[in-house]
Amino acid sequence: MSLTVDQHRQEAIELFNKTWELLELQEKSSEQQLEMIRVAQASRYHWGIAGDYKNWSRGEWLISRVYAELGDGESALKYALVNEKLHTDYGLEDYDAAFVHEALARSYSILNKQDLKEFHLGKARGLAQGIDNQEDREYFFNELERLNE
Chain segment 90-104, per-residue pLDDT in tens:
999 888 999 999 999
Tell me the CATH number at 93: 1.25.40.10
Average pLDDT of 34-51? 98
% of the chain exceeding 90 in pLDDT: 87
Closest C-alpha among 116, 115, 126, 121 to residue 148: 121
Name the pLDDT band for 25 (thresholds 50, 70, 90). Answer: very high
Q: How far apart are CA 81 and CA 100, in angstroms?
A: 8
Question: In the chain, how many domains are there?
Answer: 1
User: Mean pLDDT in the chain?
Assistant: 95
Give the global pTM: 0.94
Average pLDDT of 65-82? 98
Domain boundaries, position 31: 5-147
